[in-house]
Amino acid sequence: MEKPSASLWRKIGARYNIIGSECKTCGAKHFPPRIVCRKCGRETKMVDKKFTGNGEVVSFTKIMVPPDMFKDEAPYIVGIIALDEGPKVEGHIIDNGKAIEIGTKVRAVFRTMYVDGDEGPIYYHYKFEPV
Protein backbone atom coordinates (compact mmCIF):
# COMPACT_ATOMS: atom_id res chain seq x y z
CA MET A 1 0.00 0.00 0.00
CA GLU A 2 1.66 3.19 -1.16
CA LYS A 3 -0.76 5.75 0.23
CA PRO A 4 -2.79 5.80 3.41
CA SER A 5 -6.43 5.45 2.47
CA ALA A 6 -7.51 8.09 4.99
CA SER A 7 -5.97 10.80 2.81
CA LEU A 8 -8.42 10.00 0.05
CA TRP A 9 -11.40 9.53 2.31
CA ARG A 10 -10.86 12.94 3.92
CA LYS A 11 -11.49 14.69 0.57
CA ILE A 12 -14.07 12.32 -0.84
CA GLY A 13 -16.69 15.05 -1.35
CA ALA A 14 -14.29 17.06 -3.46
CA ARG A 15 -12.78 14.15 -5.34
CA TYR A 16 -16.09 12.42 -6.14
CA ASN A 17 -18.50 15.32 -6.46
CA ILE A 18 -16.45 18.50 -6.93
CA ILE A 19 -17.69 20.00 -3.72
CA GLY A 20 -15.58 23.05 -3.00
CA SER A 21 -16.28 26.11 -0.93
CA GLU A 22 -17.69 29.59 -1.23
CA CYS A 23 -16.78 32.58 0.90
CA LYS A 24 -19.93 34.31 2.09
CA THR A 25 -17.90 37.43 2.90
CA CYS A 26 -16.74 38.17 -0.64
CA GLY A 27 -18.56 35.63 -2.79
CA ALA A 28 -15.36 34.00 -4.08
CA LYS A 29 -15.74 30.35 -5.00
CA HIS A 30 -13.00 27.86 -4.38
CA PHE A 31 -12.13 24.41 -5.61
CA PRO A 32 -10.63 22.39 -4.03
CA PRO A 33 -12.28 23.46 -0.80
CA ARG A 34 -10.30 25.61 1.57
CA ILE A 35 -10.83 26.92 5.08
CA VAL A 36 -9.49 30.43 4.59
CA CYS A 37 -10.47 32.57 1.60
CA ARG A 38 -7.43 33.98 -0.18
CA LYS A 39 -9.10 37.36 -0.46
CA CYS A 40 -10.72 37.64 2.96
CA GLY A 41 -8.20 35.87 5.19
CA ARG A 42 -9.39 35.92 8.77
CA GLU A 43 -12.71 37.48 7.70
CA THR A 44 -13.65 34.32 5.77
CA LYS A 45 -17.10 32.79 6.16
CA MET A 46 -16.82 29.58 4.18
CA VAL A 47 -19.67 27.28 3.18
CA ASP A 48 -19.72 24.18 0.98
CA LYS A 49 -20.32 24.76 -2.70
CA LYS A 50 -21.10 22.03 -5.22
CA PHE A 51 -19.70 22.69 -8.68
CA THR A 52 -21.29 21.32 -11.83
CA GLY A 53 -18.03 20.04 -13.23
CA ASN A 54 -18.64 21.83 -16.51
CA GLY A 55 -15.87 24.05 -17.74
CA GLU A 56 -13.32 24.93 -20.35
CA VAL A 57 -9.72 23.89 -20.97
CA VAL A 58 -7.25 26.65 -20.01
CA SER A 59 -4.19 24.55 -20.77
CA PHE A 60 -3.26 20.89 -21.02
CA THR A 61 -0.43 18.48 -21.71
CA LYS A 62 0.09 14.81 -22.39
CA ILE A 63 2.28 13.26 -19.70
CA MET A 64 4.68 10.83 -21.38
CA VAL A 65 7.01 10.30 -18.43
CA PRO A 66 4.85 9.54 -15.41
CA PRO A 67 5.67 9.22 -11.74
CA ASP A 68 6.00 5.61 -10.55
CA MET A 69 2.42 5.43 -9.32
CA PHE A 70 1.13 6.14 -12.82
CA LYS A 71 3.59 4.05 -14.80
CA ASP A 72 0.90 1.87 -16.34
CA GLU A 73 -1.39 4.80 -17.12
CA ALA A 74 0.97 6.82 -19.34
CA PRO A 75 0.50 8.48 -21.63
CA TYR A 76 -2.36 10.47 -20.15
CA ILE A 77 -3.65 13.96 -20.63
CA VAL A 78 -3.96 16.42 -17.77
CA GLY A 79 -5.21 19.95 -17.90
CA ILE A 80 -6.29 23.02 -16.05
CA ILE A 81 -10.01 23.58 -16.38
CA ALA A 82 -11.80 26.85 -15.69
CA LEU A 83 -15.07 25.70 -14.14
CA ASP A 84 -18.17 27.57 -15.29
CA GLU A 85 -18.57 28.90 -11.75
CA GLY A 86 -15.08 30.43 -11.77
CA PRO A 87 -12.39 28.40 -10.05
CA LYS A 88 -9.64 26.76 -12.07
CA VAL A 89 -8.95 23.14 -11.30
CA GLU A 90 -6.44 20.53 -12.41
CA GLY A 91 -7.57 17.15 -13.62
CA HIS A 92 -7.25 14.35 -16.13
CA ILE A 93 -8.87 14.87 -19.50
CA ILE A 94 -10.11 11.66 -21.07
CA ASP A 95 -9.23 11.26 -24.71
CA ASN A 96 -12.64 10.39 -26.09
CA GLY A 97 -11.61 11.06 -29.63
CA LYS A 98 -12.82 14.64 -29.65
CA ALA A 99 -10.22 17.36 -30.13
CA ILE A 100 -8.69 18.68 -26.93
CA GLU A 101 -7.58 22.27 -27.32
CA ILE A 102 -7.36 25.41 -25.26
CA GLY A 103 -11.01 26.50 -25.01
CA THR A 104 -12.48 22.98 -25.39
CA LYS A 105 -15.66 22.57 -23.31
CA VAL A 106 -15.50 19.68 -20.87
CA ARG A 107 -17.70 17.99 -18.31
CA ALA A 108 -16.82 15.96 -15.23
CA VAL A 109 -17.06 12.17 -15.15
CA PHE A 110 -16.33 9.57 -12.47
CA ARG A 111 -13.34 7.27 -12.89
CA THR A 112 -10.60 5.51 -10.99
CA MET A 113 -7.52 7.65 -10.50
CA TYR A 114 -5.20 5.05 -9.15
CA VAL A 115 -5.35 1.39 -8.23
CA ASP A 116 -2.82 0.51 -5.57
CA GLY A 117 -1.38 -2.79 -6.79
CA ASP A 118 -3.29 -6.05 -6.35
CA GLU A 119 -4.11 -5.57 -2.70
CA GLY A 120 -4.26 -1.84 -1.94
CA PRO A 121 -7.20 0.48 -2.17
CA ILE A 122 -8.76 1.89 -5.33
CA TYR A 123 -8.89 5.66 -5.55
CA TYR A 124 -11.84 7.18 -7.39
CA HIS A 125 -11.85 10.70 -8.74
CA TYR A 126 -13.45 13.18 -11.03
CA LYS A 127 -11.94 13.42 -14.48
CA PHE A 128 -12.97 15.60 -17.40
CA GLU A 129 -14.02 14.70 -20.91
CA PRO A 130 -14.61 16.91 -23.94
CA VAL A 131 -18.30 17.41 -24.71
Partner 1 sequence: MTMRDVAVVGVGLSKFGERWDSGLKELMAEAGVAALEDASITSNDVEMIFGGTMASGSFTGQEHIAALMSDQLGFKNIPAVRIENACASGGSALRLGYMAVASGIHDIVVVGGVEKMTDVPSAEAGTALGGAGDQEWELFQGITFPGLYAMMAKRHMHEYKTTEEMLAGVAVKNHANAYLNKYAQFHKKLTIEEVLNSKMVSDPLKLFDCSPISDGAAALVLAPLEVAKKYNDTPIKILASEQASDTLRLAERESLTGIKATSLAAEKAYKRAKVKANDIKLAEVHDCFTIAEIMAMEDLGFYEKGKAGKAVLDGETALNGKISINTSGGLKGCGHPVGATGVKQAVEVVWQLRGEAGNRQVNGAEIGLTHNVGGSGATAVVHIFGRSN
Partner 2 sequence: MSGIVGYGAHVPIYRIKVEEIAKVWGEDANAIKAGLNLKEKSVPGRDENAATIAVEAARRAVFHSGIDVKKLGAVYVGSESHPYAVKPTATVVIESIMASNNIMAADLEFACKAGTAGVQISMGLVDSGMIEYGMGIGTDTSQGRPGDALEYTASAGGAAFIIGREKKEIIANIIKTVSYTSDTPDFWRREGAAFPTHSGRFTGEPGYFRHTTNATKLLFENTGLKPADFAYAVFHQPNGKFPVMVAKQLGFSDAQIAPGLLTPLIGNTYSGASMLGLAATLDISKPGDKIMVTSFGSGAGSDSFAIEVTDNIDSKRSRITGVRKLMETNKKYVDYATYLKDKDFIKGR
Query: DSSP per residue over 48-89, as a string?
Result: EEE----EEEEEEEEESS--GGGTTT-SEEEEEEEETTS-EE
- State which of residues 5, 9, 52, 59 lies at the interface with partner 1 (CB under 8 A): 59
- State which of residues 26, 80, 94, 109 lies at the interface with partner 1 (CB under 8 A): 80
Residue 115 CA neighbour count, 13 Å, CB half: 7
> What phi and psi, each to the nearest 5 degrees, are found at residue 91?
-175, 165
Binding mask 42-81 for partner 2 (x = CB under 8 A): --------x---------------------xx--------
The contacts of residue 100 (CB under 8 Å, 6+ apart) are: 57, 60, 77, 79, 93, 130
Question: Is 101 a binder of partner 2 (CB under 8 A)?
Answer: no
Binding mask 16-35 for partner 2 (x = CB under 8 A): xx------------------
Question: Is 96 a binder of partner 2 (CB under 8 A)?
Answer: yes
- Considering CB distances under 5 to 8 angstroms, the limit depending on partner class, which of partner 1, partner 2, none binds residue 33? none
Residue type, 114: Y
Binding site for partner 2 (CB under 8 A): 12, 16-17, 50, 72-73, 92, 94, 96-98, 109-113, 122, 124, 127
